[in-house]
């Protein structure tokens, strides 16, 4: 018998009387696992004592009293304020966390904006410095433009003599 089957028999024994077949299976299990007999005895004893307890009358507002005391303990023993009945609004922890997260998001966003602004200023400064130092070619270079341009339109020719010499 596996541990799961033993637990099932234990639960069944807490609710009802076991059948003869179940009792035989349980006794066979105890042969291999003697410690489980002690577990069985303790659980059955606790169940018997639980059933012998008298029923205690509960007040009509029992749930409200329990919730009020639990809220008072959660608040550090202070009396619960009016928002305690609103559940999640009773605890302002969520608002503190939300403000902290919102503040962090704002700091990151403003930092990225400042970084972009600073990067643009540095780029403008470097472009301005480069433009002052750049050498502009003289207009005389454009005199030979047409001849150079026509060279790109000539089909390339293979120089066989040069290829033979290089081999």
Look at residue 39 and tell me if it is in a domain: yes
Based on the structure, what is the number of domains in the chain? 1
User: Residue 82: is its pLDDT beyond 60?
Assistant: no
Query: What integer is the mean pLDDT of 97-121?
Result: 94
Look at residue 123 and tell me if it is in a domain: no
Mean pLDDT of the chain: 83
- In whole angstroms, give the CA distance from residue 43 to residue 13: 9
Query: In this structure, what is the dihedral angle of CA atoms 10, 16, 19, 22, given to the nearest 10 degrees?
Result: -10
Contact 84, 71 (CB under 8 A): yes
Q: What percent of the chain has pLDDT over 70?
A: 90
Helix, strand, coil shares of the chain, percent, nearest 5, are: 75, 0, 25
Look at residue 71 and tell me if it is in a domain: no
Look at residue 27 and tell me if it is in a domain: yes
Under the banding of pLDDT at 50, 70 and 90, the label for residue 116 is: very high
How many other C-beta atoms lie within 10 A of the C-beta of residue 29? 19
Query: What integer is the mean pLDDT of 145-152?
Result: 81
Given the structure tokens 């009509």, which residue do they identify?
A: 60
User: Residue 30: is its pLDDT beyond 80?
Assistant: yes
Look at residue 26 and tell me if it is in a domain: yes
Provide the residue range defining the domain that includes 29: 3-52
User: Residue 113: is its pLDDT beyond 90?
Assistant: yes
Phi-psi sector, 142: left (phi>0), alpha (psi -120 to 50), beta: alpha
Look at residue 109 and tell me if it is in a domain: no
The pair of structure tokens assigned to 138 is 């003289």
More confident residue, 93 or 86: 93
Query: What integer is the mean pLDDT of 72-96?
Result: 64
The pTM score is 0.35
The pair of structure tokens assigned to 125 is 């400064």
Under the banding of pLDDT at 50, 70 and 90, the label for residue 88 is: low
Query: What integer is the mean pLDDT of 74-81?
Result: 60
Given the structure tokens 């291999």, which residue do they identify?
A: 32
Look at residue 36 and tell me if it is in a domain: yes
Under the banding of pLDDT at 50, 70 and 90, the label for residue 111 is: very high
State the pLDDT at residue 86.
Answer: 57
In order of 24, 54, 60, 149, the CA distances from 57 in angstroms are 41, 10, 9, 108
Comparing 44-53, 85-94, 115-124, which segment has the lowest mean pLDDT? 85-94
């Amino acid at each position: 018998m596996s541990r799961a089957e033993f637990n099932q028999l234990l639960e069944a024994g807490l609710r009802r009387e076991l059948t003869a077949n179940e009792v035989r299976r349980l006794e066979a299990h105890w042969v291999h696992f003697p410690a489980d007999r002690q577990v069985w005895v303790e659980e059955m004893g606790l169940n018997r004592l639980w059933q012998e307890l008298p029923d205690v009358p509960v007040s009509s507002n029992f749930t409200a009293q329990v919730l009020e005391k639990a809220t008072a303990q959660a608040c550090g023993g202070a009396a619960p304020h009016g928002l305690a009945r609103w559940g999640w609004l009773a605890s302002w922890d969520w608002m503190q966390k939300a403000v902290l997260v919102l503040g962090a998001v704002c700091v990151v966003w403003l930092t990225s904006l400042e970084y972009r602004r600073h990067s643009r200023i540095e780029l403008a400064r470097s472009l301005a410095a480069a433009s002052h130092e750049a050498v502009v070619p003289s207009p005389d270079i454009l005199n030979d433009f047409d001849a150079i341009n026509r060279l790109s339109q000539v089909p390339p020719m293979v120089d066989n003599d040069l290829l033979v010499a290089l081999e």
